[in-house]
């Protein structure tokens, strides 16, 4: 039987794969440029591998193609108790 990962076992990171709609994301500080979604996904795979290779737990949240910017999980809330 495999034990469940708990928050005290090791550090972990929440990740979400780049959406197919990544090119539709919000751009506010520069001119819009096309995004190579396949390249972004390969870069994302490498990013996630760095954490896993260093012993971090990787928690992948479901893909959200309806949210083009959702690859950037920046406003995460952690609730205890």
Q: pTM value?
A: 0.75
Tokens of 81: 């108790």
Indicate the domain borders of the chain: 10-81
Mean pLDDT in the chain? 84
pLDDT at 44: 96
Convert the pLDDT of each residue in 19-70 to its tens digit. 999 999 888 888 988 999 999 999 999 999 999 999 999 999 999 999 998 8
Query: How far from 60 is each of 13, 45, 49, CA to CA, in Å?
Result: 8, 12, 12
Give the residue with greater pLDDT, 7 vs 1: 7
Query: How far from 7 is each of 35, 48, 72, CA to CA, in Å?
Result: 35, 18, 22
In terms of phi and psi (left: phi > 0; alpha: psi -120 to 50; beta: otherwise), the region of 27 is: beta
> Residue 76 above 80 pLDDT?
no
């Amino acid at each position: 039987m495999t034990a469940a990962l708990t928050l005290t076992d090791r550090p972990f990171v929440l990740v979400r794969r780049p959406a197919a709609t990544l090119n539709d994301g919000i751009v506010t500080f520069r001119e819009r440029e096309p995004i190579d979604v396949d390249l972004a996904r390969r870069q994302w795979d490498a990013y996630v591998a760095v954490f896993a290779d260093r012993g971090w737990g990787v928690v992948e949240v479901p893909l959200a193609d309806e949210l083009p910017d959702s690859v950037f999980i920046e406003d995460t809330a952690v609730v205890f108790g």
